[in-house]
Structure 1
Amino acid sequence: MELTKRLLCIVITLFSLQSQAQEKIPLLQLISEIETKHEVKFSYSAVDVKSVTVEQPQSSSTLKTVIEKLNSSTLLNFKFLTDRYITISTIDKTISVCGILKIDANTSLYGASIVVNNTLNGAVSNNEGEFKLTDVPVGAEVVISYLGYNTERIKATDLWEYKGCKTIVLEEKLEQLNQVLITKFLTTGLQKRLDGSTQLNSETFGVLPGLIEPDILQTIQVLPGVESVNESIANLNVRGGTNDQNLMLWDGIKMYHSGHFFGLISAYNPYLTDKTIVSKNGTSSEYSDGVSSTIDMRTKNTINDDFSGGFGANLLHADAYLKVPISKKLAFHFSGRRSFTDVLASPTYDNYFERSFQDSDINTSTESDATGNQSSDFSFYDFSAKVLFDLNDNHKFRANVIGINNNLDYAESNTNNTSETVSKSSNLTQENLGFGGQWNAVWNDRFSTQLSGYYSKYTVEATDARVETNQEVKQSNEVLESGFKIKSNLKINDSFNLFTGYQFTEVGILNATDVINPNYNRTKKDVLLNHALFAEAEFSNKKTYARVGVRGNYFQKFSKLIIEPRLNVRHKLFNNLALKLQGEFKNQSATQIIDFQDDFLGVENRRWILANEETIPISESKQGSFGLEFSKNNFLIDVEGFYKNVQGITVSNQGFYNNFQFLNAIGSYNVRGVEVLASKTAQRFSTWFSYTYSINDYEFNTLTPSVFPNNVDVRHSFGLGLNCTILSNLEMSVGGIWRSGQPFTKPVEGNETVQDGNNTFVNYDTPNSENLDHFMRLDASLKYSFTISNNVKALLRFGVINALDRKNSINTYFKVDPNDSNKAIKVENKSLGLTPNLSFRCLF
């Protein structure tokens, strides 16, 4: 009994002490008690403290403990000036904030962006939707955003960690049915959408093997079915197609140029790019003119409150970008990039130069022989600018410009028999200039429209002065395209949208050659007008996403109508298993031909031409795919079988190294295969494995044999990668690719050449009957981020391509031996060797 009484007494005493500790008293009262007990003085404004209540501290607490408790439990900043004087203010007061993000009562939101407005202090919500930020100013605003959902702006004090982590439910944007399905896909910044397309968000991009920047066209090559058989962005192959079969758009402007260094570096500066959407099949009927894929690049489209930007450099170029708000309704965005390779040659530049010009007239050595020498300078730049004007919340206007330039100067000299030195200068310039504008109008809650227009000019100009023949060849290829589009969106209900629109395009292409000694001139220009009507319906609920559309294209010159149906369906069979079905018909009127005899200094042998419906038909594609997708606990398995048929290709635009090289023929190619992707993502790591198996065959009825393997018939292609967050500010990525060697044609054994009049040619055997050795490459990257000041963040990235320095063969062909016309010499083009690169960036 006595023991019971003692225990009861102890419990009552503890409860009394806890109640005393939790008792709330006015801060002014506590200040007076502290001043008396500890013989200190407080300096404060009565306005700041008069309405504040605090917990009564325990009598045994030290002065330091009491002040620390007040700092953590109030929105005031208590600071010791001396041992006896303490100031109380709201100046420089920072707090920790936290929250839990959800899209409904049971579903957490992973991968959302949380940023303290007008600062670089930010975080990403974890698997449970939780986030936490420290050192947040009391008066700050926290911005929470996620693609497809309304952005939330919340006062920092409402998210104060001391009050407990608040649950925040983001509301979905009802006008955007095609929301993101997977928020972290392979790495941060890569997302998978409901319609099967992939989205790259440049600003939140993490790290991928070998890359030191979010290079748009390099990044998408981690996707199954997307690769470059010769390591060049200028030859990007999507499901067995050629590079000219990819529709590239920059803010709605059709682009005809893709890479610097003639294809080794993306020509699009990523730091003002907001997102890039890549579609391999099931494309919206809004798009046409690319029978293999659509790569839609969109720049940042919102007016920020404050001036911001960034600058950086790597071992090839330097760049900068700015976002300049003039008012709440008007802003300007600028970006620029230029190489310094014509001033400073780094080891990275030397590797790229050797890779780019190994099969050209350009000699990487300054000395060619005892009597002559050569020198060359290469440089590139690009720029973009955008004007953003918001008349009001419902009417927004945008205008932008983009420019891309590659320039090569090449000089050679020779000493003749009379000891006279003869010098010649050659030049190659490659440019793409584009202008565009948009008016986005929201007329009511259910109806909106967009009116857009663009102009694009692509030019290749070359002057090839040949010392040995005293001949000068001038060549040019020019593409002018302009067009406009109007489209409307009618929201029937929360799940159903109806899109309609009209598009007009005018394309003109010029090809010219001017030869001096002997004199010769050839100029050809073609123009084609196209009118298109398109419509589609889009439906989405918790189980099913469906988009059905049709596009009608009328080519005025040929009085030809092409109807293109489109289909994209995704249906959840179970919670973790979904079925996908996609299909599309598309056309393309502008293609590239490859001319080995009449090229630009041997560097750029592709030139754009227009269909004439005689020797060059309009290319038309039909493709379909069917797949299953399993996703659970951030583990994804995606399996997709596909079939694609492209009609209307020609021998001249395939680049044959065989007996068909100089023939005229129209044919097709068929690709069938399967793509497999498995990935696992977590808060600190992500890993993936991809595999593509495909069979790709040509069919030319007028050739013998009529069916043979495609130049890019790569049967097996594997990819493997791992991203890991080592520390909160240090990330690592390592990965590799392995693929079968592409086909090539060898000469007839024992009869390697054949003579036709005065000309001798290589006598090729059965076309594409041999394969190169398999291609293998291991890449790695590191990304380190740190803070220079409150408003300046820095990024240091290091990457290495082909870390094992493997000598991969990417192309093989033969030419007649100049010393023995009965023999053929084998020419092998090699991939990049071990190529390191380093970049440093500042963001403010």
Structure 2
Amino acid sequence: MKYSIAIFFLIFSLYVTAQDRATLNYSNEPISNVFSELEEKFNIKFSFNSELVNDRFITLQVTDALLEDILFFLEEKASIRIKKASDRYYTVKGKRIRLTDTQELDEVLIKEYVTTGISKKNDDASLSLSIKKLGIIPGLTEPDVLQSIQLIPGVQSPTETASGLYIRGGTPDQNLILWDGIKMYYSGHFFGTISAFNPYITDEVKVYKNGTRARYGNRISGVIDIASDSDIPDEINGGLGFNMTHADAFLKVPVSEKAAVMLSARRSITDAFSTETFRNLSQRVFQETKISNGNKVFEDDEVLTTKDLFYFTDLTLKTTVKPNDKNEFTLSSLYTKNKLDYGFLIEEFEEASEDNLEIINQGLSFNWKHDYNNSFSHEINVYNSNFELDYLGSNSIVDEFSDALTKRNKIDDFGLAFDSDWKLNKTTTIGFGYQFSSNNVEFGLGFVDSESPEENFNESNKDTNNAHALYFDYQYKLSNKWFLNAGIRTNYFSVLDKLFIEPRLQLETALNTNFRFKLSGEKLHQAVSQIVEFNTQEFGLENQIWALSDDETIPVLESAQITAGFIFDKSGWNIDIEAYYRNIKGLTSFTLGFDNIDDFFSVGKSNVFGLDVLVKKKIQSYRTWLSYSIMNNDFTFDNINNGNKFSGNNDITHHLTWSHTYEWKRFDVSLGWNVRTGIPYTKASGLVDTPDGKVIDFEETNRDRLPNYDRLDISATYKFNMSSNEKRKGKLGVSLLNVYNKENVLSRTYEKRQGTVEEGEVLREVNRTSLGITPNLVFRLEF
């Protein structure tokens, strides 16, 4: 059945409808002439200020291209924004970007990487996602900032969440996530199933898998740099909508020609309306936790729910001021919250239990960009980020016992940065800067047992790391043939009183018209990471806490990575191949949480070999792309598996996605198939008796693997106008996740469980399974 659907969709998609296309070849052509020719070829009209296009020239070569692709290239190459006002009329405005991005505009070539809105520049190792232009994604009715990144080869989510991104063997806490310069320590809603960033106010997302610029530091894996919209609109505009999990609204208000205010809000609707989508997500998130089983001792225990509150929300407010062409000031704020309050009662025993969890991540940033002249510019950023996690769990029987477990984790992160670029000549640019951050990290765990006070504990830790960083970049670019970026970053961490040096290198060269070779290398360090705590394991949610390195139980993480690959582009075919090797040091059993490790600490390392392949083909309105990753991620720990290497906890050997999109008039349809190897797990053979009671007898660490994972998703949207001038628009969408309802096992652990009186304690296999077949609907209005 599943294969038939995929084949049917492919055959159907190949039946494409011809659209107007053009072949253009310009060399240093005035952009006004380009607009005139496009107006004639496509029967459209451009509206723009004549001063905007005066003295602007462009070099562009496209073959048999659609209008949308030509406009996309014009925007990127000429630093302009083109907005579609109606089916025929387009407005053109200026766009201000950094000097390092605008140099050699006539020679920077932007390539669509996967689908519309995801591009790759030949002078940067980053991938750029324009959320406003992002094409339809399989299984999604509207864009999701973090789920969209999972289209990129080498980015995986073994837990089937938006925020649980594993980039080339790195864990989610090893990714640097920035929102308008604010460091984010919690980036998901509903325990990671939805990203915490409103896509409708997001302008651009830069993603680095390798070759990171020296300005990015204190994380050893990927970089996700999110910038919200900073345009100043001519008039008030906004939008609102809802799907089966949440509703949102945003508004952009021009205060004057040089200033604007933007605000947005999202909130879950699930505490007011129970939808099929939310019920399926809840079943996936809460399975095998106290919330799902009601803390039952015996299967036939009757449980009464006494509290059932859950919601999430996020709010943003941004002010942009552009007093002149040389200055831009922005003040951005973000607030996200997840709240859970759940309680139940086993009436037969009068046993009451409650779980209260609250997670808040908020931040504020001020940014000033200034161009002194055509050669020198700077950017100053000041931010404050706050993260708070509070959990209280209790369990009691009247007149018998009362237990309480608490967990808190708090981060107060203040930072400032100065970043500058100096263009020495036509081919050479240097960049340098300074960053300071003061990171105060606090965590505490407490337990009170009324029956056994000797088991009570209260552990806490609070420390501050003041980090100073100086960095330097050298960039050389010769036409479209050579690109070199060499950088170095020095980090001083006060919590360790140590200095760390991080070299960076990126090289790319054109071998011929169709082939490019690329090479990069870097060394990175990280002083704050997440550790796994098992005291709230029965609750089963958010059992990781942030902690600072102490160079003993929590060493500084260190990563060295080298990457090499090729890019081929010809006749609508795009092939991108990258091979990489990573060595990560400073891993601990505290940060990885091995099932068969108990009461001792071990330090280890990881060696990751991998290959990422992307093959893409576009045929008029039909796109198809195949993404394949092969990876070997081995761990080595002195005290685990006799010091021999073993498969890493999230070692996905093979991962293949095959996606299709088709556009017809106002309809968009997308289908995607996701297939991957199951992750390793440690198998238990049974229970063994010890002087302290029965314990689980585990076999070799991560020797076995879960069954292979596969899932088919589909989505479709329809856009419509609600006014003759097309200023008020709408969208309807429908999606279906896991079309053939495949039950995939995401993790497998073991626990001791009370059996019958005759059995006593027995071994129970605990499988957490994937999301079942799940529909979703969306309705949106924009004005």
Alignment TM-score, normalising by the size of structure 2: 0.86
Q: Which residue identity is paired with 1:202?
A: I
8 A contact 2:735–2:777 mirrored in 1: yes
> Where does 1:152-163 land on structure 2 (aligned, <5 Å)?
none
Question: Could you say which residue in structure 2 is the equivalent of 1:771?
Answer: 705
Question: Could you say which residue in structure 2 is the equivalent of 1:224?
Answer: 153
Shift of 1:302: 2.1
Q: 1:425 to 1:702 in 2, by over 3 A?
A: closer
Larger radius of gyration: 1
Alignment partner of 1:703 out of 631, 640, 649: 640
Question: Could you say which residue in structure 1 is the equivalent of 2:781?
Answer: 842
> Where does 1:244-323 land on structure 2 (aligned, <5 Å)?
244-323=173-252
Structure 2 distance, partners of 1:171, 1:253, is 21
Question: Could you say which residue in structure 1 is the equivalent of 2:752?
Answer: 816
Is 1:826 paired with 2:760? no
Alignment partner of 1:483 out of 406, 415, 420: 415
Structure 1 distance, partners of 2:474, 2:328, is 25
Question: Could you say which residue in structure 2 is the equivalent of 1:33?
Answer: none
Q: 1:672 to 1:160 in 2, by over 3 A?
A: closer
Question: Could you say which residue in structure 2 is the equivalent of 1:560?
Answer: 498
Question: Could you say which residue in structure 2 is the equivalent of 1:104?
Answer: 27
8 A contact 2:488–2:502 mirrored in 1: yes
Shift of 1:182: 4.1
Structure 2 distance, partners of 1:249, 1:716, is 30
Structure 1 distance, partners of 2:545, 2:673, is 33
Structure 1 distance, partners of 2:691, 2:153, is 48
Structure 2 distance, partners of 1:205, 1:512, is 42
Q: 1:600 to 1:746 in 2, by over 3 A?
A: closer
Question: Could you say which residue in structure 2 is the equivalent of 1:395?
Answer: 327
Give the SS at the match of 1:736: strand
Is 1:146 paired with 2:75? yes
Structure 2 distance, partners of 1:231, 1:331, is 38
Give the SS at the match of 1:465: strand
8 A contact 2:565–2:576 mirrored in 1: yes
Shift of 1:520: 4.0
5+ residue gaps, structure 2: 1-19, 49-60
Q: Which residue identity is paired with 2:779?
A: F
Question: Could you say which residue in structure 2 is the equivalent of 1:585?
Answer: 523
Q: 1:837 to 1:384 in 2, by over 3 A?
A: same
Shift of 1:172: 11
Question: Could you say which residue in structure 1 is the equivalent of 2:120?
Answer: 192
Is 1:638 paired with 2:576? yes
8 A contact 2:23–2:62 mirrored in 1: no
8 A contact 1:581–1:625 mirrored in 2: yes
Shift of 1:672: 0.2
Structure 2 distance, partners of 1:364, 1:639, is 46
Q: Which residue identity is paired with 2:604?
A: G
Give the SS at the match of 1:352: helix
Question: Could you say which residue in structure 2 is the equivalent of 1:736?
Answer: 673
Q: 1:126 to 1:818 in 2, by over 3 A?
A: farther
Is 1:340 paired with 2:269? yes
Question: Could you say which residue in structure 2 is the equivalent of 1:43?
Answer: none
Q: 1:492 to 1:693 in 2, by over 3 A?
A: same
Structure 2 distance, partners of 1:144, 1:359, is 50
Is 1:407 paired with 2:350? no
8 A contact 1:144–1:153 mirrored in 2: no
Shift of 1:201: 0.5
Question: Could you say which residue in structure 1 is the equivalent of 2:692?
Answer: 758
Shift of 1:150: 2.7
Q: 1:489 to 1:502 in 2, by over 3 A?
A: same
Give the SS at the match of 2:707: coil
Give the SS at the match of 1:288: coil
Structure 1 distance, partners of 2:231, 2:542, is 38
Shift of 1:144: 9.9
Shift of 1:377: 2.1
Structure 1 distance, partners of 2:466, 2:602, is 25
8 A contact 2:516–2:567 mirrored in 1: yes
Shift of 1:753: 2.1
Structure 1 distance, partners of 2:392, 2:591, is 23
Larger mean CA deviation between 814-823 and 242-251 belongs to 814-823
Percent identity between matched residues is: 33
Q: 1:98 to 1:584 in 2, by over 3 A?
A: closer
Q: 1:562 to 1:155 in 2, by over 3 A?
A: closer
Shift of 1:432: 0.4
Question: Cα deviation per residue 1:577-633 (whole Å; 9 max; x = unaligned)?
Answer: 000101111111111111223358321111111100111111010001110110112
Structure 2 distance, partners of 1:523, 1:622, is 33
Shift of 1:759: 4.4
Question: Cα deviation per residue 1:226-263 (whole Å; 9 max; x = unaligned)?
Answer: 11112123421111111111110001110001211101
Question: Cα deviation per residue 1:666-708 (whole Å; 9 max; x = unaligned)?
Answer: 1110100211110012441111111111111001123333211
Structure 2 distance, partners of 1:630, 1:773, is 35
Shift of 1:225: 0.8
Q: Which residue identity is paired with 2:263?
A: F
Give the SS at the match of 2:143: coil
Question: Could you say which residue in structure 2 is the equivalent of 1:616?
Answer: 554
Shift of 1:472: 1.8
Shift of 1:555: 1.3
8 A contact 1:144–1:152 mirrored in 2: no
> Where does 1:284-683 land on structure 2 (aligned, <5 Å)?
284-363=213-292, 370=301, 372-374=303-305, 375-415=307-347, 421=350, 423-468=352-397, 469-516=401-448, 517=450, 518=453, 520-540=457-477, 541-599=479-537, 601-658=539-596, 660-683=597-620
Question: Could you say which residue in structure 2 is the equivalent of 1:78?
Answer: none
Give the SS at the match of 1:235: coil
Structure 2 distance, partners of 1:345, 1:153, is 41
Shift of 1:560: 0.8
Question: Cα deviation per residue 1:423-448 (whole Å; 9 max; x = unaligned)?
Answer: 55431111101111111111111111
Q: 1:416 to 1:724 in 2, by over 3 A?
A: closer
How many pairs does the alignment contain? 719
Structure 2 distance, partners of 1:252, 1:102, is 39
Structure 2 distance, partners of 1:196, 1:594, is 32
Question: Cα deviation per residue 1:144-169 (whole Å; 9 max; x = unaligned)?
Answer: 9612423278999xx999xxx9xx9x
Structure 1 distance, partners of 2:38, 2:414, is 39
Structure 2 distance, partners of 1:172, 1:363, is 50
Alignment partner of 2:655 out of 717, 728, 733: 717
5+ residue gaps, structure 1: 1-96, 119-124, 133-141
Shift of 1:422: 5.9
8 A contact 1:485–1:504 mirrored in 2: yes
Q: 1:145 to 1:325 in 2, by over 3 A?
A: farther
Question: Cα deviation per residue 1:722-766 (whole Å; 9 max; x = unaligned)?
Answer: 1111x2111111011111111011123xxx223454343211110
Is 1:800 paired with 2:736? yes
Higher relative CO (Cα under 8 Å, sequence separation at least 6) belongs to 2
Give the SS at the match of 2:362: strand
Structure 2 distance, partners of 1:98, 1:171, is 29
Q: Which residue identity is paired with 1:818?
A: Q
Q: 1:664 to 1:444 in 2, by over 3 A?
A: same
Structure 2 distance, partners of 1:152, 1:361, is 52
Shift of 1:104: 2.7
Q: Which residue identity is paired with 1:429?
A: E
> Where does 1:61-80 land on structure 2 (aligned, <5 Å)?
none
Q: Which residue identity is paired with 2:670?
A: S
